Amino acid sequence: MKVLFATSECVPFVKTGGLADVVGALPSELCAQGCEARVILPKYGKIAQKYKDEMRYISNIYIKMGWRSQYCGVFELKIGEVIYYFVDNEFYFGSDTIYGEMAEDIERFAFFDKAVLALLQVIGYWPEVIHCNDWQTGMIPVLLRAHYNCDERYNRIKTVMTIHNLKFQGVYDKKTIADVCELPDNYFTEDKLEFYKDASFLKGGLVYADFITTVSKTYSREIMTDYFGENLNGLLSARSASVTGIINGINYDEWNSAKDTFIEHNYDARNVVSKKKANKLALQKQFGLEENPDKFMIGMVTRLTGQKGLDLVECVMDNIFENGDVQMIVLGTGEGQYENMLRHFEWKYKGTLASLIMFDNAVSHKIYAGCDAFLMPSLFEPCGLSQMISMRYGTLPIVRETGGLRDSVEPYNEYENTGTGFSFANYNAHEMLGIMNYAKTTYYNNKKSWQSMVKRAMKADFSWRNSAKEYIDVYERL
């Protein structure tokens, strides 16, 4: 089975979110299971020079963009079993930014989508499936149908469209998209690309792709409702027979408490209790919190946005700290209102709350290893990786039951002594506070159950092995 992943970002070359982690890990696992998976992405200016030095130039062509013809080079780099192709054009991808204004991005990714299809003849790789990811690659299924329907080599190709976050849809005016994509008017009707008088890259992908996946089973159902559907729920419901959810995995080489070079004390399920206390002390000392290995500590590693439930946290922050038996450490950047909110409460609860308005990979590892619980009260969460990572480190997640959070965290049942974390259903600050207090009470008053839950969480399997098998099933069905 030959599969080509088309993506706007990919670890280790460039990353802004979870998409990069998925495309950085899934193709390698697919190769391990017998697929021939390759990846194509833009050759961004900000890709580290060490990778650029290893790339091999293949050839170049010209891509028609409206009235212009734009240079399009292609480079190749092999890492492990996966071959990566890089689409080269300094005008579109030479800057240090990945995404910019929508007016610019529409043309940039229209160029990229055209290049993906045109370059197949240059690289000599004819995949059976092109796996598209998010709106930036949404025009590939459309262009495949519109421009290549007379070529038997292209007619054999099937397309899969994966929604990593339905909120981002690549919407712009119909005239511009028609021009840069060279599409006739009949592609811009209500049942095709038209989207509230404009046009949408993502909608095009959802209409023309042979199959649609999302990054968790619950999210695949949620997006067919008015609340989560972002005005595409009608289309997704109509295509429900061709939609499935496959939860993401995490990289077990990077996230391994027994071998993690970023944390002070390595551990596994056998010595997690003592070593986690030692990591907690190191974390408290580094960030100016009261040094007490028995104090209940909650961590957050997150983008500081409304989607992540920061408004709920703000509403009950005083309640969280009123009894003096909780510490919290938050790492992330984002919207100014939440950055300032955290700075204020850090000043108010000095020694109890540490707000780190930055992103530091090493610090994130230390938070996963040193905290007792990990808070993710998201408004919506297509998949989420942090809850899986926290369980891998024996840090029990406290989550809202949405998307991948619901699929990956089994709620604690004190009567049957089951579960891998704590969860609440409604998007409500005091419901969140109630489950946080329940977790805290369990931590302090039922140590045996807490420690059993920690060990169960650490044994949960969130590797890419099972998810890759499900993707292979989709490819083979097509």
Domains 2-249+465-477 and 272-461 share a fold: yes
* Of the candidate ranges 96-105, 120-129, 240-249, the one whose mean pLDDT is the lowest: 96-105
Instruction: State the Cα–Cα distance between residues 19 and 9, nearest whole angstrom.
Output: 7
If one looks up domain 272-461 in CATH, what number appears? 3.40.50.2000
The pLDDT value given to residue 97: 86
* Of the candidate ranges 93-97, 312-316, 333-337, 430-434, the one whose mean pLDDT is the lowest: 93-97
Tell me: pLDDT of 66 over 90.
no
Domain extents for the chain? 2-249+465-477, 272-461
DSSP 8-state symbol, 137: G
Chain centre distance of CA 117: 25
pLDDT tens track for 353-401: 999 999 898 999 999 999 999 999 999 999 999 999 999 999 999 999 9
Instruction: State the Cα–Cα distance between residues 116 and 24, nearest whole angstrom.
Output: 18
Tell me: pLDDT of 96 over 90.
no
The pLDDT value given to residue 16: 86
Other Cβ atoms within 10 Å of 121 Cβ, number: 14
Tell me: pLDDT of 253 over 90.
no
- Could you tell me what percent of the chain has a pLDDT over 70? 100
DSSP 8-state symbol, 413: B
Taking residues 255-270, what's their average pLDDT? 96
Please enumerate, as own/partner, the contacts of 222-228 that have beta carbons within 8 Å and a separation of 24 or more.
Answer: 222/380, 222/402, 222/403, 223/163, 223/166, 228/166, 228/380
The pLDDT value given to residue 185: 94
If one looks up domain 2-249+465-477 in CATH, what number appears? 3.40.50.2000
Across the chain, mean pLDDT equals: 96
**C-alpha dihedral sign at 27, 146, 136, 226:** negative
Tell me: pLDDT of 45 over 90.
yes
Instruction: State the Cα–Cα distance between residues 478 and 211, nearest whole angstrom.
Output: 8
**Tokens (6 digits) for 226:** 């008015």
Strands 198-200 and 194-195: what pairing?
antiparallel
CA atoms within 13 A on the CB side of 287: 26
**Tokens (6 digits) for 345:** 């409460």
pLDDT tens track for 108-148: 999 999 999 999 999 999 999 999 999 999 999 999 999 99
pLDDT tens track for 194-215: 999 999 999 999 999 999 999 9
Taking residues 272-300, what's their average pLDDT? 96
Query: Taking each helix axis from N to C terminus, what angle separates 447-459 and 272-286, rounded to the nearest 10 degrees?
Result: 90
Contact criterion met (CB below 8 Å) for 155 and 144: no
The pLDDT value given to residue 355: 96
